[in-house]
Amino acid sequence: MTEKAQYIQSGDQPLTILRGVGEKLAAQLARIGIVSCQDLIFHLPFRYEDRTQVCPVYKLQHGQQALILGAVETAHVQFGRRRSLLVRLNDGGARITMRLFYFNAQQQKALEQGQWVQCYGEARLGPNGMEMIHPEYRVHAIEPESITTDVLTPVYPTTDGVGQARMRKLVNQAFEQFAHATQDYLPPSIRQDLQLLSLDDALHTVHAPKAEDDINSLLNGTHPAQKRLALEELLAHHLALRANREERQQNPAPVIKPDGELWQQLQRSLGFTLTDAQQRVVTELEQDLAQASPGLRLVQGDVGSGKTVVAAAAALHAVEAGWQVAIMAPTELLAEQHRRNFLAWCEPLGVNCVWLTGRLAAVKRREATTQITSGEAQIAIGTHALFQDEVEFHKLGLIVVDEQHRFGVGQRLALKKKGEQQGLAPHQIIMSATPIPRSLSMVYYADMDVSNIDELPPGRIPVQTVVLANSRRDEVQQRVRLACQEGRQAYWVCPLIEESDALQAQAAEETAKLLTAQFTELNVGLVHSRMKPKEKDTIMARFRGGEINLLVATTVIEVGVDVPNASLMIIENAERLGLAQLHQLRGRVGRGSSQSVCVLMYQAPLGQKGKKRLDILRQTSDGFEIARHDLEQRGPGELMGTRQTGEQALKIANIVRDQALLLTVEKAVHELDQQDVRIKQKIIERWVKSKDQYAQV
């Protein structure tokens, strides 16, 4: 067979070979990673719509996706903040409103009294009862005999200009022509041991379910066809990261192996002894730095476990060996916290630390960048300003990135490339106070070594956590007053900066005004992300110095604030925040010698899910256990911040639902290692798009 013939049969050819696909449509699809017919075949539904039966209107539940059929009773335009077309439908048992915000005169005319309308959409409780907002609908002149389908309707990820109907046609066309050419790359032993469906059968079932297929399992994502594809997708992501790890290790890196005198000097001056867990991680970092290939290690530990001093050990090793260190934090508050720590620890040792953030005056900025370029600055601490074009390092050997999931992948890559200008790739340490469960690290961090600081310093008193309804606000305020009168300090956290009727959450600015009026004998401060940096820093300095008794803040204080005298944390509308974020906020107290308390206030009524989440915080202070629950309840996107980082989402696998598959992934990797390396690359190319450079960040 000629090379061209193989190409034609493989499905790798461009989309323009399909009917109706021109250059414009191909460019639109390329925005979501679809550039070949094979990409369309593996462009999988992320959910299904159940149009196999009509749901009576009286049975509809709030939030339910359903197919309904009703006759038009009235249709009129309602004017208000937003003009909308309200169509009242009656199915003979109950009424529902179809609400359209975007409509034209032709649509309005078609929806006249007596017409029959079938709708598929989400039922919601509106101001006049149950309604559907912009459902998918079709108008019939007479009552249709049947509007149901025999199978589930797939719903695909789309992009601007490509609707569901068009995407379904494109997928079907590619599938009919080229699905027969898709090769099954999973090791035969894995397929036999698990009695997996063939790749062809799995794809057919997922794209075009049959009437006899188990509808519930498809809707839940547990059908054997979905499991078969999820296994290969998880395998592909693991292989991609591992391949990047192997590629990264081919690059030369500085061999950093000093006597360790600077680190010994610092330990003698600390006034405390490192925990066994900290000592273990320091040793692991020393071993990384001593290698001739670039180390990339995730150091994760609970709030207060002492990650920063561990990073300081690695930084001093690099400095002693003649290399520069860059320490990057996502916010100025956190960067400022690192600055204070490193100045206190390193300057007495003769190590020059410079500070670089976007808010620095031009003169100070030039001074800092000059010292970095000349090598006079041994440790550079700052925010995203560290990777700006004008910043050039003299001899960058180590990068420390704190709370890495808060940075975009492009930002982290830019800083890494600063060190490659000398021909050597810098070592990297990634720190996170949001522990990642093993199941997540296998998929997202397979290219990294992972160290856990799973031990808190001795003497730390666990924070007592209390869950109270907002109706007991007066009691909470009295507790705050007593704590501050006794000489302690408190935080009052609000999730929003301004009032929002939609979210019904207290705004920080309004709360600060109310509490200032309530506590005339106390100094109340306010800090939020929209304040000017200088103003924010001034407020935080006054709070650290004890001048401010009560600090009202948004979640900007989630990381980077260390005030040992603060022993009371109030969090309003706690039901709206994730477990990991609540745990981070709670970690701002409990850093002193007195018993600290965290009060989680919620807006009643509190649903079962919300109650369960807050109960978890009340029952445990183990960050790893909390992270596991957060993963189960909110998913990896929330836990890892991948919406901000730009990292590719999984198509069909669900890291929570499919955890059991990860053991099979490990076995499959071992078997593939014994086979042709090109097979692993083909699996990666099938599932993973444009992650090569980012996996090395």
Q: pLDDT tens across 290-304, in order?
A: 999 999 898 988 877
The total number of residues written for the chain in this structure: 697
**d(C-alpha 274, C-alpha 203), whole Å:** 54
Quick check: is 61 in a domain? yes
pLDDT at 637: 53
pLDDT at 336: 84
Quick check: is 638 in a domain? no
Domain hosting residue 328, numbered range: 261-453
Whether residues 480 and 594 share a domain: the answer is yes
Torsion from C-alpha of 470, 473, 475, 479, nearest 10 degrees: 110
**d(C-alpha 399, C-alpha 315), whole Å:** 9
Q: Are residues 464 and 595 in contact, defined by beta-carbon separation less than 8 angstroms?
A: yes
Please identify which residue in the block is written with the tokens 């509490």.
515
**d(C-alpha 209, C-alpha 494), whole Å:** 47
pTM of the full predicted structure?
A: 0.75
CATH code for position 95:
2.40.50.140
**Element housing 658 (H / E):** none
Low-confidence ranges of the chain (pLDDT < 50): 1-10, 408-409, 501-505, 638-648, 691-697
Whether residues 296 and 438 share a domain: the answer is yes
Q: Are residues 346 and 371 in contact, defined by beta-carbon separation less than 8 angstroms?
A: no
**Element housing 265 (H / E):** helix 261-270
Whether residues 213 and 300 share a domain: the answer is no
**d(C-alpha 664, C-alpha 217), whole Å:** 21
Whether residues 287 and 434 share a domain: the answer is yes
**Element housing 209 (H / E):** none
Whether residues 286 and 310 share a domain: the answer is yes
Number of domains in the chain: 4
Whether residues 477 and 441 share a domain: the answer is no
Whether residues 428 and 383 share a domain: the answer is yes
